[in-house]
Structure 1
Amino acid sequence: MQTANETMNQINIEQLNKDIGLFPQVHPVTEDMNITHAGVSRLVMLDRYAFKDTEKVTLTKGDFVVLTVKDDPKFPARGLGYIVSIDWQQAKAEVKVEPEFRSVLDKPEEVETGIINRKLDVIDKPLEVFYEQIAKRNATGLAAVETDEAKRQESFQQFYNELSNLNFIPAGRVLYGAGSETDVTYFNCYVMPFIQDSREGISDHRKQVMEIMSRGGGVGTNGSTLRPRNALARGVNGKSSGSVSWLDDIAKLTHLVEQGGSRRGAQMIMLADWHPDIVEFIISKMQNPRILRFLIENVDDEVIKQQAKAKLKFTPLSATERDMYQSIVNYKNVEGRGGFTDAAIADAQEKLDLGGNYDVHNSEFLTGANISVCLTNDFMDAVENDEMYDLRFPDVESYTKEEMKAYNEEWHESGDVREWADKGYKVRTYRRMKAKDLWNLINICATYSAEPGIFFIDNANDKTNATSYGHKVVATNPCGKVA
């Protein structure tokens, strides 16, 4: 297998520096540069953070490129290689993939030779192939705020010394953005304020999430201020589709927005344990039909059963399928079994016993985000003491005009039903359930689908110094969850 240094020897540095001359943001390769990193670190550096000729004005035969080596819609794989030939009319290129990235290729001849054909839009040419180039660009960008030229040069040198010696490595968005002269954010992740519970509020929140993600930032959202499913929306004389549906709409932005750089975005979406939609939220990303059936058959809580049934999809066997599975089972006692394994026969018998196949409805629901439950001390106390727990929300259906005005103006500033009740506003208890049932549901779903995570929001607010400035913790960004 080639090492990073061996690969670097194949790059025509003289020609690369000529190409770099077209891009004032990029610093040329010099003899003192030596940091290339290796393995995954090298790929991430080149794919995520290196400045690229995205318009491909310098792309030519022999160029070192980053590309999608496995073009899977859900799980694409990136790798490194060299341009063998380019068909500009078809907007395709033949690329020789480096050996360490060939294992994911589909065809044996591709694995052996490393030669693949890919569209140009999944191929990028990095102009920064040494980490020191990135460090120089970053140092230039960070020092640019100095108005005095001598001070700017001094700051550049100080930044560059720290960065190039790896004494300090900035966050990914800084590595990508600083000095690039692009409109990207220098912050990796953001937490949004609570959403105002209105169409306008949701639209404004969605717009801000989209803007942040388009500039490279990840976003954390707490949807607990959105009214629950079927709650009255008096302005349109209708009912709400519920918090979880609106949060799925926000999560879809991850699939829609291509970020600055080469990656998709990341979102964390949270809901409080007291919210009436919490059971739906917890089950919303369960992809395992067996666990959904287990919940239906083994839990006592009717709402949990109802939500599990709503997620579970059953497709009856067709006559042809029934005959096929029966034919497989009929070989059970036949010598040789017609080539069917014990596992195949057992699977066919199970299909016949069930009368069909179990799957899940809406398998893409909320897949644009990680989800976590905001756990309060009140809930954890109820779990520990095996008590009932109230799922509550402001009683918008009974509010007067004046109370509704206060709700529209103040509820999203609070975002906590306990605090809202303490202020004297009416709160409706939608239902009571055993706290342990909810806690067990979180654990079952987290065990078998890795979602939801948990976030101890009261603990976070007890320990943060943000309260000294009149602020509070609303949620975390995707980096801060507890899985």
Structure 2
Amino acid sequence: MKLTENALTVLRTRYLLRDEHGNIIETPEEMFHRVARTVASAEKIYGGNAEKWELKFYNAMSNLLFLPNTPTLINAGKESGQLAACFVLPVNDSMKSIFDSLKNAALILQSGGGTGFSFSKLRPRSDIVKSTGGIASGPVSFMRIYNTATEVIKQGGARRGANMGILRIDHPDILEFIKIKRHEEELLNFNISIAVTDAFMQALKKNSDYDLLNPRSKQITGHLKARDVFNEIVESAWETGDPGLIFIDRINRDNPTPHIGKIESTNPCGEQPLLPFEACILGSVDLSKIVRGRTQNTEHRTQTMEIDRELLAELVQLGVRFLDDAIDANKYPVPEIEKMHKGNRKIGLGVMGWAEMLIKLGIRYNSPRAFRLAREVMSFIRNRARDASSELAKERGVFPNFKGSVYDTPEFISKGGLRNATTTTIAPTGTLSLIAGCSGGIEPLFAIAYKRLVLDTELHEVHPYFIETAKQRGFYSPELIKKISLKGNLRGLKEIPRDLKRLFVTAHDIPPEDHIEAQAAFQEFTDNAVSKTINLKHRSTRDDVARAFLLAYEKGCKGTTIFRYGSKPGTLLKLDEVD
């Protein structure tokens, strides 16, 4: 097994089993065997060959071709046995619901999952509480309680609690919500996003007012100028990176089970819209490892590299089966979640290593050719994933809530229906990509050389592809690598050939519109959503943020997150110079 030193550090810190004294008691190989054995045991439910699939799952994971989400790697085979990364819990307008969800969130966070909440049903600040004659304190006050509870819960002993808090744009307390993260110590355990409606976007386009609705009475309580509210969103995102935007009407147009309920929230990173009480298990294929061939003429970069589509198809089929098995192998922390997850059987197969795939193919990240390839690759993955889900439906039956779903049509029924209400999701794959030795999700390289903080460990990284290329082309030196690690990019370095400066492009070399183009290309063929950061340089303006938000909506993204470098304390990836 080819693991980097950084991968081993992450595995030892976070993933490998320990005894009661805290001593590590398994190797990475044993970890993958543990996971494969646990997940493949679900094959027995359907009369399948568990041993056969255990070996297949192990081979895919140990070769770092496919990895499931972190809770699966940590918890499989353990007493907790909670394998899902993504959850959404309902927060209804009663003390019982608010604190029931907080209790359930505690159980989920303790097991290593991340929770999403919409606080949009809570009555606004100063609204009347008839049962007591008192005055409501509003959604933000309850978010603070959730934040404090999360602070004292360490996910699975290895992950700090993560939450998504969402408020609709038409909630009367929206301005308080937009501004909350401008205070540095507020809601540190939350990502926050605004559920933006099409009506708001139309009002923004027309430069008109829009209505605010009291969720308790369903009455219009006032009006705000859409442009003024949008400017406040832009200001907060420019200052802090929060809030992000969730295009909630677009998400619900793609809701595969509208007869079961409306989608109100996503998981903490935004890639998985879910119904209340729904969960999802994710997995990712490393695209950098499915490029085959070799470079014949290094000097002129004559490429014979190509995508191994046969291998990709095999990995997609295997990934879908793994994730479907994981639903049955999972130990759910809350009964309502088990019922909902097994009713819809949503899975989220995605990718990582996109940046390295492009480098191997000699394609610049932000080029029309790359955007075309993104659509081709994701279309291929979604089609194969649905085929695999259809085959599983013939073996095991369609997902229980199939009747009445968007797939309850002659076209899908003639193919056997679907086993899973969704099959594809693009996750950020932060630590998974460290284990696999590739870039996260569909992100570009963050830098050629940098320091990364994982928990309390500082990891130094120099991209191995760059070192290999520098040695092949004869310009490698330790001094050059040190110089690059201070800058993070190749700009202004005369030692680097021009073609490589174009190929080894980093996140801050790429204009925001090209980040969005990449996200939109993948979103077009992804059932759920795409987690993608729109990186902005420190000197970027508020107008840059505004343009990025509007473009993400226009291009068909389901949500967007803006991050201006240096705008948030505790940045996980550190560069000494990002202008």
Question: TM-score, normalising length from structure 1?
Answer: 0.53
Kindly provide the amino acid, as one letter, of the partner of residue 127 in structure 1: I
Which aligned pairs between 1:280-319 and structure 2 lie closer than 5 A? 280-287=176-183
In the alignment, is the contact (CA less than 8 A) between 1:253 and 1:368 conserved in 2? no
Q: Which moved more, 1:169-178 or 1:433-442?
A: 169-178
CA shift, 1:428, in A, is 2.7
2:5 aligned residue? 38
Give the whole-Å Cα distance in 2 for the aligned partners of 1:200 and 1:434.
35
Partner of 1:132: 29
What's the offset of the Cα at 1:214? 1.1
Q: Which runs of 5+ in 2 are unaligned?
A: 271-558, 562-579
Partner residue in 1 for 2:209: 388
Q: 1:208 aligns with which of 104, 124, 131?
A: 104
Check the 8 A contact 1:35/1:132 in 2, yes or no: no
Match of 1:186 among 62, 80, 83: 83
The Cα shift of 1:146 comes to 5.2
- Are the counterparts in 1 of residues 92 and 98 from structure 2 also a CA contact under 8 Å? yes
Q: Residue in 1 aligned with 2:136?
A: 240
- C-alpha distance in 1, partners of 2:156/2:16? 12
Distance between the aligned counterparts of 2:84 and 2:220, measured in 1? 40
In the comparison of the two structures, how many residue pairs are matched? 272
Distance change in 2, residues 1:157/1:389 (3 Å): same
Give the residue type in structure 1 aligned to 2:230: W
Once the two structures are superposed, the pairs formed by residues 220-235 of structure 1 within 5 Å of their partners are: 220-235=116-131
Listed as ranges, the matches of 1:41-190 within 5 Å are: 41-53=7-19, 55-56=20-21, 124-129=22-27, 131-145=28-42, 151-179=49-77, 181-190=78-87
Residue 231 of structure 2 corresponds to 440
- Whichever residue aligns with residue 142 of structure 1, its letter is V
CA contact (8 A) 2:122 2:215 kept: no
**What amino acid is the match of 2:34?**
R
Taking the aligned partners of 1:189 and 1:223, their CA distance within structure 2 comes to 18
Contact 1:176 1:261 in 2 (8 A): no
Superposed displacement of residue 395, structure 1: 5.5
What SS class does the counterpart of residue 190 from structure 1 fall into?
A: strand
Can you give the 5+ residue segments of structure 1 that lack an aligned partner in the other structure? Answer: 1-33, 57-123, 288-362, 397-426
Q: What is the aligned partner in structure 1 of residue 262 from structure 2?
A: 472
Q: CA deviation at 1:51?
A: 1.1
Match of 2:173 in 1: 277
- Range 363-372 or range 221-230, more displaced: 363-372
Question: Paired residue for 2:193, among 352, 372, 375?
Answer: 372
Q: Which protein shows a greater Rg?
A: 1
* Alpha-carbon distance between aligned partners in 1 of 2:87 and 2:32, rounded to the nearest angstrom: 25
Give the drift of 1:161. Answer: 2.1
**Is residue 375–residue 456 contact of structure 1 (8 Å, CA) maintained in 2?**
yes
Give, in whole Å, the separation in 2 of the partners of 1:152 and 1:436: 58
Query: 1:269, 1:369 within 8 Å by CA — same for their partners in 2?
Result: yes
Task: Report how far residue 192 of structure 1 moved.
Answer: 1.7
User: SS in structure 2 opposite 1:235?
Assistant: coil
Alpha-carbon separation, structure 2, partners of 1:431 and 1:245: 21
What TM-score results when the alignment is normalised by the length of structure 2? 0.45
Q: Give 3-state SS (helix, strand or coil) of 1:230's partner.
A: coil
- Structure 1 distance, partners of 2:201, 2:109, is 34
Tell me the CA shift for residue 470 of structure 1: 3.2
Relative contact order (C-alpha < 8 Å, sep 6+): which is higher? 2
**Given that residues 121 and 215 in structure 2 are in contact (C-alpha distance below 8 angstroms), is that contact kept between their aligned partners in structure 1?**
no
- The 1-side partners of 2:225 and 2:53 are apart by 60
Which amino acid in structure 2 is aligned with residue 44 of structure 1?
V
Aligned-residue RMSD, C-alpha = 2.1
* Secondary structure of the corresponding residue to residue 167 of structure 2: strand
Alpha-carbon separation, structure 2, partners of 1:395 and 1:465:
28
How much has 1:200 moved relative to structure 2? Answer: 0.9
Helix, strand or coil at the partner of 2:233:
helix
